[in-house]
Structure 1
Amino acid sequence: MSSNKPTNKTTVAVLPFVNMSKSQNNAYFCDGLTEEVINALAKIKDLAVTSRTSSFYFKNKPVTTKEVKEKLGVATFIEGSVRLSGSTMRITVQLIDTAEDFHFWSETFDRNLDDIFAVQDEISLFIAERLREHIGHIEIQDKLVEPIDVPVAIYREYLKGRYYIMKLDYKNSIKGINILKDVIHKAPHFSSPYLDINLAYFNMGTMGLLPAYEAYEKAQPYLLKALELDPNSSRSQLNLAWIECWQNWNLKKAYEHANKALEIQQADDIYLTISNFLTVEGKLDAARNYLDKALQLDPYAAINHHYKGFLYYLQEEYTTAIPFLNKALELDPMLPFPPIYIGLCLLLSGKPDEALIYFGSLKGVSVKDLTKLGGETMCYAKLNETDKCHDGLKELETYLATALADKAFTFLILVNALLGNNEKVVDLLTEAYHKRLPLILLLNPSPILKSVKNHKRFKDIMLKAIPDNVNYKREKKYKQALLDANEIEKYSKELEQIMVDYKLYLNPDLALKDLASYLELPANYVSQLLNMGFQKNFSEYVNSYRVNEFKARILLEENKSLTIMAVAYDSGFNSKTVFNTFFKKIEGITPNAYLKSTQKDSF
């Protein structure tokens, strides 16, 4: 997961908040609060926020700053704790710089539980503002968490239901679904539980905990109701994108919805979805670029590693593909997709015997979803074991009228392509097209079908399914500078004069908003002013004044009896770590070394 590249300073992770309550039953509340903070920060377009899967990988695990930096690739991470007691809550939050390994901000919020929505917004805004002060200019919305029109007691039940479905096993998923159904009964206008029940069934179908057709059939009504209640949320737009692509085969509209989702929130599953759509079009390099963004935000999501391997498979880089596919299975052994492509990579890289052994060893989900049968039949085709291949084809055909028709068609098409039966391949694709089976969309770039791609009927089918006029390009919205060059020059001079006249830096709790108040400008403007006018973030700007103040004070006779830290505190610093870090960054030596050098100079 680690990289030798310098860490982008706008990357941030929110680790799961620790439950400090007496009752361990309150863990759901901590997880829910963590998710809300992740989602809120992800709305800030200048930040790259690690997604839930990767953040929660560290739940209940002791972790060092170095490990977080290496495994998540972030410049800053947030950790916190929650203590519930009756109708009150105490939430403690800390921000840690991974490069310097120091806490640069912490705060405790004592609030009433009835204020949970306001507190979520307050905490998210506090974090965003402190991040901006530390890393430099980012634009922050006035509000990051919208209040939900449900009583707090029902919202807590919702968090509990989501907590159970995110455990991703059958028993807890069913428990979570039942809780969420009760929430819907009490608050039928609340869209989130509908989306989460849809997610729970979708996950169970994908992971083989329920037959896929049964799971998706159960999920559909909840998704449709959620879309009816809240069509404009990021999650709703993402689901609409899936429907337009995989059900309606309308890539143009699918891209529109995916882009709307991305405008609302930067999330790995949105980047992954756009990568899927680009793959359908055969734009594999562009697909990989979007997938890399998904992996940056969620390096511990099994599906992201699977899809990276899948893209390498499509580009016939089989040796490169296998480690990603294996990593996906390591992260989620129940994920049904990687075994297909691990076997195919072996098969197409000239190792049919090894592929046959691999497919033959598969158990569990891979047997139920035809991967074992289909994989072995493909190997028999490649090995010219005609009778065994024929038997496999016959058995696969028996599934064409079942809920596994999609998988059966896929393997029948691939086996016949390996046998060179191009007419049969096109016949099967035509039938799949008329049945509106989504499989044909991802078969378009398949390396096994290269010999069929110039077939006229194949081209006609693919052109109907995937029109060539989509021409997807994400519209880049360039931000207009909040201040022009003349204004930056003007306000830079004003700010410097204010700092000299009022010595604001001596206030250890000075915040960007305070500077904004003196300049009578919005905080976003002042953030940009510091960035463009001084090439510094708020912390660098203010602490440079404090360092100079310290250097002046430490030489005064009246301060000779004071410790270094006493003078540092008098200069506006409120933390030994922050003082030492910034002093060395600015002066190039430690405060102790600086003091010794001044004493030498005095002789």
Structure 2
Amino acid sequence: MSNSIDNEYFCDGLTEEIINALAKIKDLAVTSRTSSFHFKNKNITAREVREKLKVATFIEGSVRSSINKMRITVQMIDTVDDFHFWSETFDRKPEDVFEIQDDISLFIAEKLREHVGHLEIEDKLVEPIDVPTDVYREYLKGRYYIMKLDYKNTIKGIKILQNLIKRAPNFSNPYLDINQAYVYMGTMGLLPAFEAYEKAQPYLLKALELDPNSSRSQLNLAWIECWQNWNLKKAYEHANKALDIQQADDIYLTISNFLTVEGKLEAARNYLDKALQLDPYAAINHHYKGFLYYLQEDYTTAIPFLKKALVLDPMLPFPPIYIGICLLMSGKPNEALSYFGSLEGVSVKDLTKLGGETMCYAKLNEMEKCHDGLEELETYLTTTQVDKALTFLILVNALLGNNKKVVELVTQAYDNRLPLILLLNPSPILKPIKNHKSVKEILLKAIPDNLNYKQNKKYKQALLDTNEIEKYSKELEQIMADYKLYLNPDLALKDLASYLELPANYVSQLLNMGFQKNFSELVNSYRITEFKQRILLEENKGLTIMAVAYDSGFNSKTVFNTFFKKIEGMTPNAFIKSTLKN
């Protein structure tokens, strides 16, 4: 509520820190930055917030700042009844910035606990940073520009942070933000991927040296292990560490990316849905949901998600590519050609228009125009746009059935360590050539431990034999231990099938023969075990039995009581009394 832009980026930074602090509290779902900031400076009702963000409670506040004094007002509002639980004013000196962040975060957390139920809250939610206030304010200024997510402002933010590093070389945050900025530009096509990752790496290495255990450090390591080092095992390890530290939409999106690389598209969608729940106004989340439907060849369902992404961020470079390809692959080549031809702005610069039109000419059998397009795309192979040029060249030649040329281009992409290699396996356009010997060898070299690349699974009529049942039973037990799928109350048999990469019929047989249980019995037995562990925890003593049951994955009181008595031979109340006596 001050006129200076300096106070705007300080207010944004304060808000983001409070969001991150509250997101660290287990069992508390907190809407992420993008969706929270979507409502900044907008006149909106509590009902609209509830409907758009699917939240029960929201925090609203403002900052007034002068040279010597800062006044922050905070209030908590129930979205169902539009009821103000409380309102509080904090008067502080501007130099007490870290104390302010922690005080407000703890105050909000305590008030939430009073009104919505038990939460386990640490003594501190925001750790103070050992830098002067003016350095921290300058950092927030650089981050303010980077988070605008366009090329011009991102470069401006990077320069601010690079100058700041000279003043505070041991402050880890600027290094992480510069790394994130370059990786984002490489991923979004604002810079060539190789160049962007190369510029990003020294900043990440320095950040890891200074602060290796933050969620952002772990998330950046996960990206590097996947897209640069092509090591999915390590990528998952770092992403899961990040998720343990903080439940954030970009971490769920990242794990969804990795599952997509493996071809586990249903599992990828489960993680993506969690990202969308936490950040429903993030354009990239809507784009990725559309992209997953595209990979599953559900083109009609994909297009609305891709269009929604462009409404939220018209400069996002990916959705136009897949809107056009979805039209093309759903039997509408002329409509696709018209769509690609109408693109302007960023889509022209990143070869989407040229590449898309050339794909349409291939599908329409207009060979002269297609040949001209291929020749023009090839001129970009020695430029900074080699990534996009190769992608379109591979797709066009696959549509033409030029398998030899596709192999040559895939080899070129592999030799240049281009990230596009990792997304060849699930591409519907490349289905006819995916099992070509040379292509399969390249995919295996890129990710040698990925079974998806090793074989084209053909299931026999007789379903699973004894050895396969033993093998997949162990695999399912490990998946349940690693991912705790049973905590999802909407878990279905098809979800288990997607993780095991087996048809649902096979998984049904596996459960019956490997575990002597049907799907419902198996999943609810895991939930009962989880409940028995949770109900005895000190942190859950203030919760009702059903609150713990719901936290353990149940969504029905009747189902919970029925299965508990069936498995344990007693009611939940009797179990608790019996355990406490012992």
Q: Is the 8 A contact 2:32 2:278 kept in 1?
A: yes
Give the corresponding residue for 1:162: 143
Q: What code does the residue aligned with 2:282 have?
A: A
The AA in structure 1 aligned to 2:450 is: D
Given candidates 301, 321, 324, the residue that maps to 1:340 is 321
Partner amino acid for 1:102?
A: F
Q: Distance in 2 between matches of 1:421 and 1:169?
A: 37
| Corresponding residue number in structure 1 for 2:427 | 446
Contact 1:208–1:365 (Cα < 8 Å) also in 2: no
Contact 2:24 2:246 (8 Å CA) reproduced: yes
Deviations 1:555-585 (A, max 9, x none): xxxxxxxxxxxxxxxxxxxxxxxxxxxxxxx
Equivalent residues in 2 for 1:27-66, closer than 5 Å: 27-66=8-47
For the 8 Å contact 1:198–1:219, the answer to whether it is kept is yes
- The alpha carbon displacement at 1:32 in A equals 0.8
Q: 1:153 aligns with which of 119, 134, 138?
A: 134
Give the aligned residue type for 2:236. Y
Q: Is the 8 A contact 1:302 1:329 kept in 2?
A: yes
- Secondary structure in 2 aligned to 1:109? strand
Residues 193 and 387, structure 2, Cα contact 8 Å, conserved in 1: no
Alpha-carbon distance change, 469 to 444 in structure 1, aligned in 2, over 3 angstroms: closer
Q: Deviations over 1:96-128 (max 9, x none)?
A: 111121111222222233322122112111111
Percent of pairs with identical residues: 78
SS of 1:105's equivalent?
Answer: strand
- CA deviations over 1:161-187 (Å, ceiling 9, x no partner): 222222334544343333222321111
Deviates more, 1:199-208 or 1:230-239: 199-208
Superposed CA offset, 1:173-228 (max 9, x none): 34333322232111110011122223334445556665666555443432332233
Question: Could you tell me whether the CA contact under 8 Å between 2:253 and 2:271 is conserved in 1?
Answer: yes
Partner residue in 2 for 1:74: 55
Aligned counterpart for 1:468 among listed residues 442, 445, 450: 450
Q: Residue in 2 aligned with 1:90?
A: 71
CA distance in 2, matches of 1:284, 1:205: 24
1:398 is matched with which residue: 379, 386, 399?
379
Distance 1:479 1:370, change over 3 A: farther
Match of 2:80 in 1: 99
Equivalent residue for 1:136, pick from 117, 123, 130: 117
| C-alpha distance in structure 2 between counterparts of 1:299 and 1:108, whole Å | 30
| TM-score (norm: length of structure 2) | 0.77
**Secondary structure of the corresponding residue to residue 400 of structure 1:** helix
Q: Which residue of 1 aligns with 2:179?
A: 198
Q: Name the structure 2 match of 1:186.
A: 167
- Check whether the contact 1:50–1:298 (CA below 8 A) recurs between aligned residues: yes
Alpha-carbon distance in structure 1 between the residues aligned to 2:322 and 2:546: 52
CA distance in structure 1 between the aligned counterparts of 2:258 and 2:191, rounded to whole angstroms: 26
Question: Which residue of structure 1 lines up, in the alignment, with residue 227 of structure 2?
Answer: 246
Shift of 1:63: 1.1
Q: What is the rounded CA distance, in whole Å, between the counterparts of 1:298 and 1:36 in structure 2?
A: 16
- Say which SS state the counterpart of residue 325 (structure 1) adopts: helix
Please report how far the alpha carbon of residue 90 of structure 1 lies from its aligned counterpart in structure 2 after TM superposition. Answer: 2.0
Structure with greater helix percent: 2
Aligned partners of 2:192 and 2:387 also within 8 Å: no
1:54-76 CA distance string (max 9 Å, x none): 11111111111011101111111
Preserved contact between residue 346 and residue 355 of structure 1 (Cα < 8 Å): yes
* 1:213–1:403 Cα contact (<8 Å) kept: no
Matches within 5 A, 1:249-398: 249-398=230-379
Structure 1, unpaired ranges of 5+:
1-18, 486-523, 537-603
Matched letter for residue 141 of structure 2 = K
What SS class does the counterpart of residue 8 from structure 2 fall into? helix
Q: CA deviation at 1:136?
A: 1.4
Distance 1:385 1:125, change over 3 A: same
Partners of 1:461 and 1:211 in 2: CA distance = 22
Question: Following the alignment from structure 1 to structure 2, what is the Cα–Cα distance between the partners of residues 451 and 162?
Answer: 45
Change beyond 3 A, Cα 1:534–1:100: same
1:310/1:341 contact within 8 Å kept: yes
Match of 1:531 in 2: 543
Amino acid in structure 1 at the alignment position of 2:276: L
Q: Match of 1:87, SS?
A: coil
* AA in 2 matched with 1:77: F
- Alignment match of 1:118 (pick from 88, 92, 99): 99
Comparing 441-450 and 475-484, the one that deviates more: 475-484
Q: From the superposition, tell whether residues 249 and 215 of structure 1 become closer, same or farther in structure 2 (CA, over 3 Å).
A: closer
Q: Secondary structure at the match of 2:72?
A: strand
Kept in 1, the 8 Å contact 2:336–2:360? The answer is: yes
Please say if residues 343 and 359 of structure 1, whose CA atoms lie closer than 8 Å, have aligned partners that are also in contact: yes
Helix, strand or coil at the partner of 2:55: coil
CA distance in 2, matches of 1:401, 1:146: 47
| Corresponding residue to 2:207 among 226, 230, 233 | 226
After TM superposition, the structure 1 stretch with the greater mean CA deviation from structure 2, 273-282 or 359-368, is 359-368
- Is 1:455 matched with 2:436? yes
Query: How far apart, in 2, do the equivalents of 1:24 and 1:178 lie?
Result: 18
Whole-angstrom distance in 1 between the partners of 2:66 and 2:380: 56
- Following the alignment from structure 1 to structure 2, what is the Cα–Cα distance between the partners of residues 132 and 480? 24
- Measure how far apart 1:298 and its partner are: 0.8
Aligned-partner SS, 2:543: helix
Inter-CA distance 240–297: structure 2 relative to 1 (3 Å threshold): same
The alpha carbon displacement at 1:401 in A equals: 2.4
Sort the Cα spacing of 1:197 and 1:353 in 2 relative to 1 into closer, same or farther, 3 A.
same
Aligned mates of 2:193, 2:342 — CA distance in 1: 23
Structure 2 counterpart of 1:140, one-letter code: I
Structure 2 spans left out of the alignment, 5+ residues: 453-474, 488-529, 549-582
Alignment-mate amino acid for residue 282 of structure 1: G
Cα distance in 2, alignment partners of residues 129 and 427 from structure 1: 61
- Equivalent residue in structure 2 for 1:237, among 218, 221, 228: 218
Distance 2:371 2:547 in 1: 70
Shift of 1:430: 2.3
Worse overlay, 161-170 or 367-376: 161-170
Counterparts of 2:235 and 2:546, CA distance in 1: 43
2-structure distance, mates of 1:112, 1:168: 31
Residue identity in the other structure for 1:222: Y
**1:550-565 to 2 correspondences below 5 Å:** none
CA–CA distance in 1 between the matches of 2:185 and 2:444? 33
1:109 to 82, 90, 107: 90
Partner of 1:175: 156
- 1:205–1:440 Cα change, 3 Å: closer
* Larger RCO (alpha carbons 8 Å, 6+ apart): 1
- 1:462 and 1:82, CA in 2 relative to 1: closer, same or farther beyond 3 A? same
Structure 1 segment 576-595 matched on structure 2, within 5 A: none
Residue type at the aligned position of 1:532: T
Distance 2:379 2:546 in 1: 71
Aligned CA RMSD, in angstroms, stands at 2.4
Query: Do the aligned residues in 2 keep the contact of 1:40 with 1:145 (CA within 8 Å)?
Result: yes
Structure 2 counterpart SS, 1:48? coil
Larger mean Cα displacement after TM superposition, 249-258 or 225-234 = 225-234
Paired residues, number: 477
